[in-house]
Amino acid sequence: MTDKTIPTRDRLIFAMDVPDCDRARMLADELGDAVTFYKIGLELMMSGGYFELLDWMLARDKKVFCDLKFFDIPATVGSAVRQLQDRGASFVTVHGNQSIMEAAAENKGDTLKVLGVTVLTSLDRGDLDDLGFDCDVGELVLSRARRALEAGCDGVISSGLEVARLRQFIDEKLLVITPGIRPVDNKPEGDQKRVVTVEKAFASGADYIVVGRPIRDAASPRAAAEAIQATIAAQVGDS
């Protein structure tokens, strides 16, 4: 477990994967103070009103993670991050090679943190073979995390299955944000293949977890979020 000073309730990032911004606002109102940190991604970006939603969340004292996975030539990625640096978001994701991550880091400003994507939790060994990565998944995650840190990124997105190795071999200052979380041990579902529980993620050294479907699709999203918050508090204590 890491010793970074992070408010306990901020460690849960809810993945706001809904079709439009009206639905996002309704769900955020339903969740209330059970969630303090939201991830808004490409689906909402393409629905229209993305930055209005960002401003709406910030006005309600929520933190926002813009999960846009910028992947283009370095100059374009750098310009895109520069456009975002003063919008109030806490995190943004980038994909790609060293020069792409360097361009993002050089343009992030003083408050926006850049997260490098290591290996998507929707990919397994067979998928990596199809993509031409002839190496162990864990080694690929380590390699990309090292490159992200060298490029000036603040952290990485990593499956909980690889977090312990990151903590063993990568500088502790690196933020690790872990998606693919399931509240209990069960089989992977939907598009997530490499999943872990809340307890395992934090025991392995994650700083934040990203949870979507188990909250969004619960009979009571607020109750589901509060249950996860209680589990986090039991793992990391109140801060």
Which residues form the catalytic set? 69
Question: Which one-letter amino acid corresponds to residue 231?
Answer: T
Residues near 70 by beta carbon (within 8 Å), at least 6 away in sequence: 77, 80, 81, 92, 93, 94, 95, 96, 100, 104
Three-state DSSP string of the chain:
CCCCCCCHHHHEEEECCCCCHHHHHHHHHHHHHHCCEEEEEHHHHHHCCHHHHHHHHHHCCCEEEEEEEECCCHHHHHHHHHHHCCCCCCEEEECCCHHHHHHHHHCCCCCCEEEEECCCCCCCHHHHHHHCCCCCHHHHHHHHHHHHHHHCCCEEECCHHHHHHHHHHCCCCCEEEECCECCCCCCCCCCCCCCECHHHHHHHCCCEEEECHHHHCCCCHHHHHHHHHHHHHHHHCCC
